[in-house]
Structures are given as C-alpha cells and as structure tokens.
Amino acid sequence: MSWAVVARKDFNDARRSRSLWALSVTFIALALLFAGLYAFVPEVTADEEMSTVGLMTFLAAPIALFTAVAALVVAYKSIAGEAESGSGKLLLSLPHTRRDVVLGKVVGRSLVLAVPVLVGLVAMLAVVIVGEVSFSATDYVLFGLVTMLFVLVYMAFYVGISASTTSTARAATLSVLALVILEFAWDIVPMGAWFVANGFQVPPGLFSGAAMPNWVAFLANMPPSSAYLNAVGGVLTGSMAGSGPWYLSQWFSLVVLAVWGVVPLVLGYLRYNRADL
C-alpha cells in the first residue's frame, strides 16, 4: 500500500495550501449561486415543478466546467513539478515505485478536488430545503457518485499529462491545450469530420437542425464533459440504455469516461517509468 502513503502525503500537503481553500470557497459560492437561481428565479428554467432532477440537470454543465478547470490547476504540477525541482528523486529514494507515485498522486489530488465538490453539494441542501425543491436522496447520491467519478477521471487525465514530461511549463501547455480542445473547441471535430465524409461539402441539414448521423453524434459525445452529462442524464432519468445504438447509450458514456481516465494515465506512466530523473 505504498501508493496510499504517497496519496496521504500529497493530500496533507495540499490541504495546507491556499489553492484548496480557494477552490472550496469558489465551488461552494458557484453551487449556492446556481442552486439559488434554480430555486428562486423561475425565469431561469422552464421547469414547472422544482425537483432534485431539475436542479442536478441545471447544475451538471457548470460543475463539469469547474471540475475540468480545477483539476488542471490541482494536477498539472503533480509529477512534472517534482521531477523538475528534484524532489521526485527524494520521493523515489523511499520504498516507492514509480507506479506507486503515479497512483498515489491520482488518489491524493482527486481527494483534494473531491472535498470542495462534496462540500458544495452538501451546502446546496440548504437551498433545496429553503427553496422548497422536492428532494430525492437517491437522485442526489447518484448525481454525487457520477460527479466523483468525473473528478477522478479528469484528475487521472491531467496527472497522466504531468507524468509524461519533466517540465512544468510543458505540462501546463499540454494541459491547457487539452482543456481548450475538449471543453471549448470540440464541436469543430464532429462537424469537420461530417463535412469531410460528405465529400468536402456542407452536409444537408447541418444548419437546419436535422438529426446528425449516429457516428457524428458519437464523436460529439466523446469529450469527458459530454460523456459526464450524458451519464448524469441517464442516472437521473433511471434509463441508462437510451433509444439509439449502444454506443450512444448512457451506460456507454461511463465506458468513455473510464477510457479518458485510464489511457492518458497509462501512457503518462510509461513515459515516466522510462524517464531519467
């Protein structure tokens, strides 16, 4: 359980940092703000009856964006920073393998981000009660579990990037580039692929709201945040199967999330395991 020692030390070090407290305050404030808008400003949503499902659906997108940005801030220096400063050599001089270091960093940094997210979700219960939003403990817990999975996935993603280089500047650049592509520019990818597949001509119905082909919809659902939102929708509606092909179902979105967490982490570990520190 050497990785657990690394995780514990990593979390304890981060717990004393201002960044954790800043993240906690920021997320709690955002969570209360959006929950308050949902509960007390009916013009914001079209929900006729305020419910836990409606609140969680309303909050899912802001939480996804916050998690993606906060995970970058927390994780990009996790391994590259220690490799650059030389403290990574000291860590490896103890009875820790490089695999222990990578896994411990993922767990420790995930806990760092999970704490403010969980505190924010608990704080929202006050708004739920005061705003007379119909409450479902099951939906609330399920939403929290999927959100914790999303936190773990993005943390593993960025730790994998950090493990792939010994330069914090390069880790920051790669992490920010990945964030911009996945969270802000991904819409270009499925539309561009559709344009190319249609012989470099504008597909019929592209701008008229017509349904896109299934493979284009699959590409659109590939980013971690899109997979998270799709999974949240399935969990809150109680239907993970969906009505389309299996690769567009809500349960498959959980597989997509797992791939985003595992593949970059494994690739980063392989680079880190061969690196000369």
Every domain of the chain and the residues it spans: 2-183
State residue 235's pLDDT score. 86
Amino acid, single-letter form, for residue 144: G
d(CA 156, CA 144): 18
CA 222 to chain centre: 13
The pair of structure tokens assigned to 161 is 């990037």
State residue 259's pLDDT score. 96
State residue 48's pLDDT score. 61
Helices assigned H by DSSP within the chain: 2-15, 18-40, 52-75, 80-85, 87-93, 98-130, 137-163, 168-183, 188-197, 214-220, 224-237, 250-274
State residue 34's pLDDT score. 85
pTM value is 0.91
- Residue 51, phi then psi, degrees to nearest 5: -145, 170
Q: Which parts of the chain register pLDDT below 70?
A: 1, 42-49, 88-89, 92, 205-210, 241-243, 276-277
State residue 46's pLDDT score. 63
The residue among 147, 174, 145, 146 whose CA lies nearest residue 158 is 174
CB of 128 closer than 8 Å to CB of 135 = yes
CA angle 168, 172, 177 (to 5 degrees): 150
CB of 146 closer than 8 Å to CB of 232 = yes
